[in-house]
Structure 1
Amino acid sequence: MDGERMLVNFFYAQPVGHAIEALYHAQGHALAVPGRQVSVALNAATATELAGYCPFVSATYRIEHPFLEPCADSASRLAGLPRDWDWVVDDTRRHQPLQYELFPGMRDYYTASDTHLRAAVSRSVVGAERAGYLRHQQLRLELPADARAAAVRRLDTGRAPRIALMPAGSSDASLYPSPGSWLLVLDALADAFPGVQIALVGRTARDERTSTALDADGLARLRGHRSAPVDCFDLPLAEQLAVVEACDVFLAPHTGFGMAALAVGTPWLSLSGGRWFEYWFNHIPFRSLLPDPDRYPSFTQFDPAAIVVDGDEGPRTPSMTRARIRADLDRLVAAARELVAGSLPYERALAEYFSDLRDVHGGDTSALWSIDLVHLDHL
């Protein structure tokens, strides 16, 4: 089996978290068969450079192909992807009809790849035991030394604790706390941790990659907080990850970037809510502040989220309103204390989270899922 060549064929949406998913699975397949050469095929619109921080990845293939829209020339888009492999393992989503209905470009890519790719041994899906796989391993990105050095220069390493804050992900702004709500959070953290250093991370550029759903005025309000946050917005991805790596906690609502934060070893404190719950798997402590399901309905997933008017802050999903944020400030500070102190074991965080998530779903465990089915070990 030495020298066996495997392609992790993981063409999906561009958020950073899906690139982390692909690399996490690639590592599990690489560890299972010593000497195996594992390559990855990724949507070119995602953070493909993350693969360069994973020594177990032999090659990375950037797939220039639409995801949301149909593609009339899919076959030509795969011309640079080698055809012959021993194993090809696909993203499991390619076998979910709903995904093809929602994302015609994904459908066209996998249809073309079925013709283009040839597997001498077999074709399967990521995580399949028969393809050789070690589940529930820890993925750790090896960031460039110059990015780490830049982060040290940017931060005041004499101040503690250090908290990296990403105020929003890449979805609609209504699915994240408003700038006014974040100012309440920053006030609470500044009062609880005198001398705390806040580092603001995110991306304002609007292109094929994901960006943060926070406008310039909102960002300016956060920059002006009395805690004097360090502005790390729009730094190169490696430098932002190095800043997060140098912090004690990463604070954010649901965002794929949170999975990258875990992959540099920083605990994630998630202000959970909106359409998606978190699916933990990377052996780093965390806390998800799950909303009260009766007052703040959440987790509609592919269905539209309920939207209400949140005073002068505009439309918000209920779990991201000022009232919800204010109600959970004490919980947020308590969770931050746990993570800063390093007193929360990963396995305990998993057990408590999945128990709470089951309760939020009214005891319906069929509504839950996680990478590597980690949740099944804790229900």
Structure 2
Amino acid sequence: MTPDRLLVDFFYAQQLGHAVEALQYCVGHAAAVPGREVSLLLNAATPTELATWCAAVRAVHPVRQPFLEPAPGAAAALAGVPRDWDWVVDDARRHQPFQLELFPGMRDHYAASDAHLRARAGRSVAGARRAGYLPRQRVRLDLPAGARAAAARRLPGGPRLALLPAGSAEPALYPSVASWELVLDALAAAVPGLRVVLLGRTARDERTATGLPPADLRRLLGHASAPVDGVDRPLAEQLALVEACGVFLAPHTGFGLAALAVGTPWLALSGGRWFEYWFNGVPFRSVLPDTARFPAFTQFDPAAVVDDGDDGPRTPSMTRARVRADLDRLVTAARELLAGGPAYEQAVADYFRELREVVDPAAIWSIDGVHADHV
């Protein structure tokens, strides 16, 4: 019997976290129909290798065309993608007019995709029950053995914490290097023998890079805690380093989703434009800011930026004052996660209880509707 074939068409921005979002839908659609073959279409500027480490994905189809600008060659970019499927499910953002206006390349991709792809049973959105979907399935990345071996050679014994000091947006949306030094000082004092692994990517190409200047990354490597240098290692090796750590510490970043997908708890210094919205059955803590003092979570609206003294322009929830205000909470959460707690269900309940206090409940959302049980 011919297996059911489904394509997840997830052409979106190249940030790594969006690829993990796509994998959530691949896993859910695969779980719903035994024997189903699920393939994934991604922006070629995304780390598409993530899909090759997910057992639910049979094939990945990178599509190389502009995203932010119009893409007159969108039809030609699909030449290597098979036309015929049983189901095609799209990223739901293709149906949001403001997204199509913001990202003409995405608009052009889906216009070409509608003409190119043929779906025998139907076309819908990723996560649609009518296409067969089981929500809230756990995504697990099985990293290459070579990457795990390379990571093991770099790692010392003792409690380990991986640190990614910034995502890929502008530096003003993340803590300064001086703020991170405060955090590292506090963690080193609170956790005897703690080994920190510093992560990041400085290359400026079609993929995203860490929004902290390379000089600041070098400064953090010189911290008294003697961090292990994982900066600019291949993606698989950096994820293997995270996998071997007890905690992944970072502000909101798509790499946090990948950390959860290798089974490592994410300690989020939450703030900036986005709150955390993806959950994977792995314990976590989000240290949320007091938004009355440190406004945050504007989502698609521009984030406010203030003068943070010697640290330069900074969004309020990432200023040194905010980091100082939540330093004890951050250290407490790190120690809790390193000790193996809390239970995942407790972490989710605590998070949404606290998020309701700082964000209008009507504005809260999550992939697969995890928030609906708590808001």
Structure 2: distance between partners of 1:58 and 1:185:
42
Q: Which moved more, 1:263-272 or 1:52-61?
A: 52-61
Contact 1:2 1:34 in 2 (8 A): no
* 1:59-90 deviation per Cα after TM superposition (whole angstroms, max 9, x unaligned): 11000011100111211111111111000000
The alpha-carbon deviation at position 98 of structure 1 amounts to: 1.0
Match of 1:196 among 183, 194, 197: 194
Contact 1:281 1:372 in 2 (8 A): no
Paired position in structure 1 for 2:340: 342
Structure 2: distance between partners of 1:42 and 1:95:
17
RMSD of the TM alignment (CA)? Answer: 0.9
Structure 2: distance between partners of 1:65 and 1:373:
31
Q: Write out aligned runs for 1:308-347 (5 A).
A: 308-347=306-345
> Which amino acid is 2:167 matched to?
G
* 1:355-378 deviation per Cα after TM superposition (whole angstroms, max 9, x unaligned): 1111102xx321010000110012
Instruction: Give the alignment's TM-score, normalised by structure 1.
Output: 0.98
Paired position in structure 2 for 1:373: 369
Give SS of 1:266's match: coil
Paired position in structure 2 for 1:85: 85
Structure 2: distance between partners of 1:327 and 1:304:
24
Paired position in structure 2 for 1:272: 270
Identity of aligned residues (%): 69
Structure 2: distance between partners of 1:58 and 1:212:
30
Structure 1: distance between partners of 2:58 and 2:340:
35
Structure 1: distance between partners of 2:241 and 2:112:
40
Structure 2: distance between partners of 1:245 and 1:178:
26
Q: Number of paired residues?
A: 375
Give SS of 1:288's match: strand
Structure 1: distance between partners of 2:211 and 2:162:
17
Structure 1: distance between partners of 2:214 and 2:25:
37
Following TM superposition, where does structure 1 have runs of at least 4 consecutive aligned residues deviating by more than 4 angstroms?
Answer: none
> Which amino acid is 1:57 matched to?
V
Structure 1: distance between partners of 2:80 and 2:61:
8
* 1:97-131 deviation per Cα after TM superposition (whole angstroms, max 9, x unaligned): 11111111111101110111110000011111111
The alpha-carbon deviation at position 2 of structure 1 amounts to: 5.6
Q: Write out aligned runs for 1:249-260 (5 A).
A: 249-260=247-258
Contact 2:41 2:63 in 1 (8 A): yes
Gaps of 5+ in 1: none
Structure 2: distance between partners of 1:2 and 1:120:
13
Structure 2: distance between partners of 1:280 and 1:303:
20
> Which amino acid is 1:319 matched to?
S
Paired position in structure 2 for 1:123: 123
Structure 2: distance between partners of 1:134 and 1:192:
42
1:30 correspondence with 2:23: no
* 1:306-342 deviation per Cα after TM superposition (whole angstroms, max 9, x unaligned): 0011111110000000000011110000101111111
Paired position in structure 2 for 1:13: 13
Gaps of 5+ in 2: none
Give SS of 2:196's match: strand
Contact 1:176 1:320 in 2 (8 A): yes
Paired position in structure 2 for 1:215: 213
Structure 2: distance between partners of 1:13 and 1:306:
23
> Which amino acid is 1:223 matched to?
L
Contact 1:39 1:59 in 2 (8 A): yes
Structure 1: distance between partners of 2:73 and 2:155:
47
Paired position in structure 1 for 2:108: 108
1:132 correspondence with 2:137: no
Q: Which moved more, 1:209-218 or 1:266-275?
A: 209-218
* 1:263-316 deviation per Cα after TM superposition (whole angstroms, max 9, x unaligned): 000000000001111113200000111100110000111111100111111100
Give SS of 2:94's match: helix
Instruction: Give the alignment's TM-score, normalised by structure 2.
Output: 0.99
Structure 2: distance between partners of 1:124 and 1:277:
27
Paired position in structure 2 for 1:187: 185
